Amino acid sequence: MIDSVCEDLDLTEDNYGNVLIAVTEAVNNAITHGNHSEAGKRVKVSVEQEGSKVVFTVSDEGEGFDFENVPDPTAPENIEKIDGRGIFLMKSLSDGVEYKNGGSEVSITFTSAG
């Protein structure tokens, strides 16, 4: 899906890599943390273009989370942990991250101008 969207919207190669990593992190978080890896729960991924922006939205069937109090993965006490970097990567690689529905939905925005 990401390949097709990036090709259709003529995203730059740099943006392609950023989209691939950020959206993959969002989907992994939705499966693992949102849906607690429960096979009967779904993750929905959608994409839409809004002017010069491309917005990927990932939603899960979980209860959400406190997205305003996520530990900083670059803090000394967290630097050696093997997880906890997904949200940091999503924010670092995109032009914007917005949570809705108590954290069970995330929209990740990228500039589509190539």
Q: What is the mean pLDDT of the chain?
A: 90
CATH of residue 105's domain is 3.30.565.10
pTM of the model: 0.88
Confidence of residue 113 (pLDDT cuts 50, 70, 90): low
The range of the structural domain enclosing residue 10 comes to: 2-111
- Number of domains within the chain: 1
In angstroms, rounded to a whole number, what is the distance separating the alpha carbons of residues 39 and 86? 21
- Per-residue pLDDT, averaged over 83-96, amounts to 92
Residue that the structure tokens 């990036």 belong to: 6
